[in-house]
Copies of this chain bind each other. A is one copy, B any other.
Amino acid sequence: MNKFLELKTISLFLFLISIILVFWCSDSTHKSSDAEIPSKPFGIVIHGGAGNMERANYSVEQIAAYKERLNAALTKGYSVLENGGTALDAVEQTIIVLENSPLFNAGKGAVFTNNGLNELDAAIMDGSNLNAGAVAGVTTIKNPIKLARAVMEKSKHVMMIGKGAEIFAAEQNIEIVDPSYFRTEERWKALQKIKMHEQNKDESYLNNNYDYKFGTVGCAALDINGNLAAGTSTGGMTNKKYGRVGDVPIIGAGTYANNNTCALSATGHGEFFIRNVVTHDISALMEYKNLSLKEAANEVVMKKLVQQKGGGGVIGIDKAGNITMPFNTKGMFRGFKTSDGKSVVKIFRD
């Protein structure tokens, strides 16, 4: 009996020791893994517009030039995040690089309206508090994304349009430029070409070569504090009339960020993106239907929009740092860079 008790005590003792060891080990493993990789993921994803781009229509030099600018934008935003900066700063800085490049339809190099102007729209959203800022129809703001951020942070409003937005910009010392700053010969020729086809009532050209509806830049980011942000900037649609505004400055259509789900920026035939409230719909599918970012974005971009023939794409990042970049056109200027060491820049489908 005594021997039995002794055995029982020893077993119990050994059992307790093993339990302690197991906990101690698992704890130390945890700590050592913490030291090896960053505890919190972060990353950035961008687009420079979707459209029916085909490799055959681009020279090697053109492709290299686009990829160089996309990489420069990603590098800029990623360095902000790497140094502990906010998703909001990363988004703004990245979009400024793209706005300042004549290659993209935003800021310098924006497309022309029917009456030969460049009318710019932009929006930015902070997923941590759902604050947002947007501007539409501005013609003298060098970097519309800066003005969108000022609307968010320095006014009580979310959206400002036209001359009023420019008066606010001047008060906030946002850089004003002469409208001629935005002009590039390529965009000017594109306007003349469409006007010619319009005069000739060449519906087949206007319906099939609809890249003039696209081209926008956008960015979404996750920072090391788990905050998400998104922004979008555009020159709109070549030959647009009547003060038309697309999806870009519409919160929930072209731009949306919510720490509960993801940050998104869209590009495409804006009217379809407004009607389908595209970026909020993707977020809602994640929040209410438990879809992953990829599943939700595919549901909207590759099913709903395809059914309606709404061409375009979306880029997004979720709170875990997962990236998605679906598009239903032939191509989309796009790329991402994440803290797990992955980095991609692509234009065409392959």
- Measured CB to CB, the residues of A under 8 A from B are 125, 130-132, 136-137, 155-165, 167-168, 240-246, 250-253, 256, 270-271, 274-277, 280-281, 284-285, 288-289, 308
Contacts and interface: CB of A to CB of B under 8 A. Distances in A.
Nearest to A169: B242
A168 B242 contact: yes
A300 to B, nearest CB: 11
Nearest first, the 9 A-B pairs at minimum CB distance are A164-B243, A284-B284, A252-B277, A288-B288, A164-B242, A168-B242, A159-B245, A277-B280, A161-B243
Given A136-B245, A284-B284, A285-B288, 13 more contacts: A155-B242, A157-B242, A157-B244, A158-B271, A161-B162, A161-B243, A165-B243, A167-B241, A168-B241, A168-B242, A256-B277, A280-B281, A288-B289
B271 A251 contact: no
Interface centre among A159, A163, A240, A256 (most CB of B within 10 A): A159
A155 B157 CA distance: 29
22 contacts: A125-B275, A132-B274, A136-B245, A137-B162, A137-B164, A156-B271, A157-B240, A159-B245, A160-B242, A160-B244, A161-B243, A161-B245, A164-B244, A167-B242, A250-B250, A250-B252, A251-B253, A251-B274, A252-B252, A252-B253, A252-B280, A284-B288
Contact of A161 (B136, B252, B281, B289): B136
Nearest to A270: B158
A331 to B, nearest CB: 23
Contacts of A288: 284-285, 288-289
Copies of this chain present:
2
Contacts of A165: 242-243
A288 B286 CA distance: 10
Contact of A277 (B251, B276, B285): B251
Contacts of A161: 136-137, 161-162, 243, 245
